[in-house]
Chains A and B, each alone.
Chain A
Amino acid sequence: MSDIGSYSLLLALALSVYAFVAGFISLLFQNPVAALAGGRERAASDPSFSGLLRQNSERIGETARRAGIMVFAAVFVAAAALVIAAFSNDFSIAYIFHHSNRDLPAAYKFATLWSGQEGSLVFWALLLSGYGFVLRLRYKTDPRLFAYAGVVLAAVQVFFLALINFAANPFGLLQGPMRPDGTGLNPLLQYPEMVIHPPMLYLGYVGFTVPFAFALGALIMKYPGEKWIHITRRWTMVTWGFLTIGIFLGAHWAYSVLGWGGYWGWDPVENASLMPWLVGTAFLHSVMMQEKRGMLKVWNMWLVFAAFWLAILGTFLTRSGIISSVHAFAQSSIGDWFAYFLAITFAVFVYFFLKNKNHLHSEHKLESLMSRESSFLFNNLLFVLLCFTVLWGTWFPKISELVQGNKVTVGAPFYNRVAIPVALLLLILTAIGPLLAWRKTSFESLKRNFLWPTIGAVAVMVFLMITPAAWGSPFGLRPWLDISYFYSLMAIGLSVLVALTVASEFYRGGRVISEKTGQGMFASMVQLTHRNTRRYGGYIVHFGVVVVIIGLAGAAFNQDKEKEMAYGDKMEIGPYTLVCRSYTDEEFPNYAAEWAVLDVYKNGRQIDTLTPERRFYKASQQTSTMPFIRSTLNEDLYVVYEGLNQDTGHPILKAHLNPLVMWIWLGVWIIIGGTALALVPNAPAPMRMPSARTVESRANAAPVPTAGD
């Protein structure tokens, strides 16, 4: 397996080098005048020479395209070899020895592929070549643009495959005698979501290479028109969707496994995934300016580049060891590779940007500050600022060390203070933006559309403030007691505002169709959505985002309690009473487990039984908690078995009461649904048929004369 894998990787590298070089030569010679000194005279005097060059370059380009397709096959073989080695317990391969063991369940053996430094790079290369495979198969959409994009993609592939072959080879053999068993997979990664979280996240990270390839290709070739941006937008949306799923799966994994009761810790690795997501989100908004109005061309070019660059920067952060993080891979020399790659890509992009920036001038002027265009400008400002804040916070410990000689911690309190106000401003724009028309909006129109949603939002905020906490709801929000309550109230109020503006957009559009067709309101809204999937899919994404934000706002009311519990002991938290029924331990092939059995009572009635668990993984000699989470729409009861008190022999349990967490996961499903909907092509507008009501009124107004009259 080791040999097959190693040779496949070498072959993949050779093919990607060929795809890059041949593709580059092909593009160079498709424009012989520019390519050859004195070519102008020769091409002018000898048309057959020019034709011959073009024909040959097209052939070379075709071989480059096919080589690019074959890269996928070669990397696939290498990845398969690594997985097969894990399943066949081939501990002669160092990577398998360090990341697998005999008793590891099959799903986690599969996950071995992305569990360590070297394997995850192979996985990265596999996804990149997979994207390249699809891109090169779809080349007929625009052969010339796709050829340029293919060359850029091949260059990125060369980097990753060179890195894998020469600096992080996953097929390196273990020195010394053959070991009977491996040291096993990190226990934290032995959780079902870990089988899908990294692929989703990597699909997001890697996917940003494709928009970047199109953008750089379009910049180099001075692509005429906006077709490239249509193509790029769809790729970006797919990538953004994967990254969204990846980020939230990661959050859910952290919540379900790490046992501290939270889902986001502002760890540098989490931040690394958030930065390209924020920039990608900014691009998905600003791209509409370019498509509809021919504006923001320079800005969009930079956003696409920034999303790609930040995805690589995130990888650099996690792999170089430059920033300390609980997630980070071991410190290694490959950080230097990434640093050089980042510098080269930046230099190449800046060079072509400066060379061809005149091609990127805007076609229209802005007519009013109160327009959709300016709302997108401010939206982009806030997204990019949030991204900068996260980047700044991530690097600040390093900057502080350089300036004042000591590191500082930049954790949740910093981001809560700095990022939340900006996020709230963004939420306001999310509410206002869709109500603004392109070019210009009258104040009257804005007032008309905004009045009822605002009244609704203010009513909800007042309701939240005046409802007594004694009612047993998470309400009774007193914003003056704590800044977190203030943020929470604002977040919920503005979320309601956004939700109402989204609902009003559906309602107004549905009403127009209903009046025209005579259909019911719901059917009209469905038809409306089908006729402009992108716009209404986007609204559904906005709605999902506010559902997530309401879930996040619940964090201001988190409670927790810790107690050592003997048989029959009780712990009260919020409306719940936990009674320890028993505690025990058990042996499994892969791990040993200790757990407690707790009965949960609410209002004096038993409603559930929880079994929080703590595992000791034998191969890696590490422990891991498996919290038991009882989720409802109102709140999560989250119980962690922390371990046995060695003196008394009783278990120590920690209970968290986390309001509204389920809203976060529900919101993510809505976001995914909205994104998928936005990718569906629009249904053609149906022929205008007069509604039954209209026909009836016409019939009453002007009876058709008959022959007998």
Chain B
Amino acid sequence: MQHPCPPPGIKERTQGQPLEILGAASAVQPLKARHLDLMMTNQHRLRCLMHCGLLVFAVFALMGAGADPASRFHDIGHRMMCICGCNQILLECNHVGCPDSDGMRNELMAAVTRGDSDSLVEQAFVQKYGPTVLAAPTTQGFDRTAYIVPFVGLILGAGLVILVVRAWKNRPTPVLADGINPARGADLQKFREQARRETEL
């Protein structure tokens, strides 16, 4: 969103032109206004960064979108299991005379050649062979929890560690006996360096 009226200290500019703060003008403007300007500038920079990020992401995403049938066959085939009981990925099943994998590969190749979407191919396989044909849970319904739970664990765990660190930091320091003056500041740093040097090298 464009700033409707450039605040004092910022040059009039056309869309896409970078903002520039005028040092001389900023020196004379009131502190509150300057603070506001700075915030707006930072917000704009952040927005620019986000736009760039999105653009890069879109480019990356689109670059993978036009995959050729061979690589799609390879990708989807590695997301499915052979159902002969070997517990192997479909394209890695190495049984000569396997009753299932050849037929499944042919079906997959036919579907990819037809131009069926990935999800359509997967649905067709699930309908025919059951949900265990997919090598990983889907991202729908209850299956979604398979992916969510570890990351929830990560977030909760990280939060817990931060709480523990804060609690430990706030723990009271043990009271020293009379006559002992604990080292502080530069002295403490010096002793730490010395201890580290002498005990670990």
SS of B interface (majority): helix
- Smallest CB-CB separation from B199: which chain A residue? A532
> What is the CA–CA distance of A367 and B173 in the complex, to the nearest angstrom?
10
Interface string of B145-174 (1 = CB under 8 A from A): 011011101100110110011001111110
Contacts of B197 in A (CB 8 A): 512
Would you call A531 and B201 a contact (CB within 8 A)? yes
Interface string of A404-432 (1 = CB under 8 A from B): 10111111111001110010000000000
Contacts of A194 in B (CB 8 A): none
A481 contacts chain B at the CB level, 8 A cutoff: yes
Would you call A366 and B137 a contact (CB within 8 A)? no
Would you call B135 and A413 a contact (CB within 8 A)? yes
B92 contacts chain A at the CB level, 8 A cutoff: yes
Would you call B146 and A643 a contact (CB within 8 A)? no
> What is the CA–CA distance of A384 and B164 in the complex, to the nearest angstrom?
16
Contacts of A528 in B (CB 8 A): 201
Would you call A326 and B149 a contact (CB within 8 A)? no
- Smallest CB-CB separation from B93: which chain A residue? A260
> What is the CA–CA distance of A400 and B200 in the complex, to the nearest angstrom?
51
Which of A322-348 touch B at CB < 8 Å?
324-326
Would you call A413 and B141 a contact (CB within 8 A)? no
Contacts of B94 in A (CB 8 A): 259-261, 625, 640, 642, 654
Would you call A385 and B157 a contact (CB within 8 A)? yes
> What is the CA–CA distance of A411 and B77 in the complex, to the nearest angstrom?
13
29 contacts between A and B (CB under 8 A): A259-B94, A265-B88, A365-B170, A368-B169, A377-B164, A381-B154, A381-B157, A381-B160, A381-B161, A385-B154, A388-B150, A407-B131, A407-B132, A408-B138, A409-B132, A409-B133, A409-B134, A410-B146, A412-B135, A412-B136, A413-B135, A413-B136, A414-B135, A417-B147, A418-B151, A480-B60, A481-B64, A509-B201, A625-B94
Which of A510-549 touch B at CB < 8 Å?
512-513, 528, 531-532, 535
> What is the CA–CA distance of A414 and B125 in the complex, to the nearest angstrom?
18
Contacts of A419 in B (CB 8 A): 150
Would you call A365 and B196 a contact (CB within 8 A)? no
A592 contacts chain B at the CB level, 8 A cutoff: no
Give the bracket for the number of chain A residues in contact with chain B: 35 or more
A389 contacts chain B at the CB level, 8 A cutoff: yes
Contacts of B137 in A (CB 8 A): 396, 400, 408-410, 414
Contacts of A654 in B (CB 8 A): 94
Would you call B135 and A409 a contact (CB within 8 A)? yes
Would you call B88 and A260 a contact (CB within 8 A)? yes
A452 contacts chain B at the CB level, 8 A cutoff: no
Would you call A409 and B81 a contact (CB within 8 A)? yes
- Smallest CB-CB separation from A406: which chain B residue? B131
Which of A353-403 touch B at CB < 8 Å?
362, 365-369, 374, 377-378, 381, 384-385, 388-389, 392-393, 396, 400, 403
Minimum CB–CB distance from B57 to chain A (whole Å) comes to 9
> What is the CA–CA distance of A389 and B137 in the complex, to the nearest angstrom?
14
Of the residues A374, A393, A404, A644, contact of B165 by C-beta under 8 Å: A374
Would you call B135 and A365 a contact (CB within 8 A)? no
Which of A260-305 touch B at CB < 8 Å?
260-262, 265, 267, 295
A residues near B, CB below 8 A? 259-262, 265, 267, 295, 324-326, 362, 365-369, 374, 377-378, 381, 384-385, 388-389, 392-393, 396, 400, 403-404, 406-414, 417-419, 422, 437-440, 480-482, 509, 512-513, 528, 531-532, 535, 625, 640, 642-644, 652, 654
Would you call B141 and A404 a contact (CB within 8 A)? yes
Minimum CB–CB distance from A687 to chain B (whole Å) comes to 14
> What is the CA–CA distance of A362 and B167 in the complex, to the nearest angstrom?
12
B63 contacts chain A at the CB level, 8 A cutoff: yes
Would you call B165 and A377 a contact (CB within 8 A)? yes
Of the residues A265, A408, A417, contact of B143 by C-beta under 8 Å: A408
Would you call B168 and A362 a contact (CB within 8 A)? yes
> What is the CA–CA distance of A365 and B131 in the complex, to the nearest angstrom?
51
Of the residues A377, A403, A409, contact of B142 by C-beta under 8 Å: A403
Contacts of B160 in A (CB 8 A): 381
Given contacts A404-B142, A643-B96, A392 and B150 within 8 Å (CB-CB): yes
Minimum CB–CB distance from B97 to chain A (whole Å) comes to 7
Of the residues B86, B158, B192, contact of A437 by C-beta under 8 Å: B192
Minimum CB–CB distance from A78 to chain B (whole Å) comes to 34
> What is the CA–CA distance of A417 and B197 in the complex, to the nearest angstrom?
42
B111 contacts chain A at the CB level, 8 A cutoff: no
> What is the CA–CA distance of A654 and B101 in the complex, to the nearest angstrom?
15
Would you call B132 and A413 a contact (CB within 8 A)? no
Minimum CB–CB distance from B144 to chain A (whole Å) comes to 11
Minimum CB–CB distance from A8 to chain B (whole Å) comes to 38
> What is the CA–CA distance of A437 and B193 in the complex, to the nearest angstrom?
9
Minimum CB–CB distance from B197 to chain A (whole Å) comes to 7
Contacts of A404 in B (CB 8 A): 141-142
> What is the CA–CA distance of A407 and B133 in the complex, to the nearest angstrom?
10
Contacts of B151 in A (CB 8 A): 418
Of the residues A326, A377, A403, A512, contact of B87 by C-beta under 8 Å: A326
Of all A-B residue pairs in the complex, the 9 with the closest CB atoms, nearest first, are A643-B96, A366-B168, A414-B136, A480-B60, A413-B136, A411-B135, A365-B171, A389-B150, A642-B96
